[in-house]
Amino acid sequence: DKTFEMTAPGAVRVVDDAGRVLMQHSVEAGDIWRMCQTKDLPIQDWVKLAVNRARATGSPAIFWLDADRAHDANLIAKVQRYLQNYDTSGLDIQILSTVDAMQYTLERAKAGQDTISVTGNVLRDYLTDLFPILELNTSAKMLSIVPLLAGGGLFETGAGGSAPKHVQQFVEEGHLRWDSVGEFLALAVALEDLGSKGDNKRALVLGDALNAAISHYLDNRKAPSRKVHELDNRGSHYYLATYWAQALANQTKDAALQAQFAPLAKDLAANEAKIIAELDAAQGAPVDIGGYYQPDAAKTDAAMRPSAVLNQILASVE
């Protein structure tokens, strides 16, 4: 148990086997004190990731650590020690308090400059919401990449805190305004990761083509509208699928993929008017998906795939 309620005023100390006080906090009766612990191996990996990212991007890497906080002070000592294991020449790596790191990062963001924030997971969760909201007005159009210790990765997007409203409008009006661009980006990076780590050239081709498709999606403004009988999430997915198939049909690195997706790209583009009309006809009326937290799969599939033409085209892909 690492969480305690103080029964009297005094001090809480964390002491190692040699009797050294690692951290100490003054407390009052009734205070809730929680032990903060970070293991050494993840710290080493954390420092490695920071150096690698700084080297790959050329951007400053800032460790958000406050020397006046007991736990952070111990982390700073480890960070300084493990940084010595790497060639950091030409890199801008700093250790700043949370206040100073935020000021520095905001100033650079205002100037249109990138900054690498090297933080723990809790602060990371806050920052990956805050800065997309400041720059894009939502956290739903950003990509969060979390490398894992054993070599895997988490590729995710934010929800912008708006998912309940999206579902409410969908069940009431049959219009789903959720923009999946963050999910598209996450899938592209996952394919790139699979391709690079597993020497899977086909995955790399798929990832490159998906990134090209996302660029067309953004350039052509195919994100969902907030209004009924305008493009919604289902229409956006149609356009993303069309652009992705076209990118695969136009690439020359994988002839088999090119041959497989060329007919699909042609069929999707040729039936645009019919598909969009069918998707639009599905809007404007309440939708029954069989529940909120645990919707019925069959009902949800039917609601999300209302275009018979699109379904038939996709079913033809082998």
**Model pLDDT for residues 58-110, shown as the tens digit of each residue:** 999 999 999 999 899 999 999 999 999 999 999 999 999 999 999 999 999 99
- pLDDT for res 160: 63
Q: What angle do CA 32, 34, 36 make, to 5 degrees?
A: 155
Q: What is the dihedral of CA 260, 265, 266, 267, to 10 degrees?
A: 90
Point out the least confidently predicted range of 72-86, 98-112, 151-165, 279-293: 151-165
pLDDT of 148 over the 90 cut: no
pLDDT confidence of residue 154: 87
The band of 318, judged by pLDDT with boundaries at 50, 70 and 90, is: confident
Q: Looking at residue 159, what is its pLDDT?
A: 66
Domain locations along the chain: 3-34, 40-156, 163-315
Question: Quick check: 127 pLDDT over 80?
Answer: yes
161: confidence class by pLDDT, cuts 50, 70, 90: low
The mean predicted confidence, pLDDT, of the chain is 94
Residue pair 180/188 in contact by the 8 Å Cβ criterion: no
Domain 40-156 matching CATH 3.30.1360: the answer reads: no
Residue 162, pLDDT > 80, answer no
313 vs 310: CA distance, rounded Å: 5
Q: Which whole number is the average pLDDT over 294-314? A: 97
Rounded mean pLDDT of 287-308? 96
What is the pLDDT, as a whole number, of residue 170? 97
pLDDT greater than 80 at residue 15: yes
Alpha carbon distances (Å) from 143 to 103, 180, 211, 241? 23, 11, 13, 20
| Percent residues over pLDDT 70 in the chain | 99
Of 62, 52, 54, 53, which is closest to residue 104 (Cα–Cα)? Answer: 62
Six token digits for residue 149: 């210790």
- Crossing angle of the two packed helices 181-197 and 201-219, in degrees rounded to 10: 160
The larger pLDDT score, comparing residue 129 to residue 173, is at 173
Quote the pLDDT of residue 38: 87
pLDDT surpasses 90 at 23: no
Query: Is the pLDDT score of 214 beyond 90?
Result: yes
The DSSP bridge partners found for residue 12 are: 25
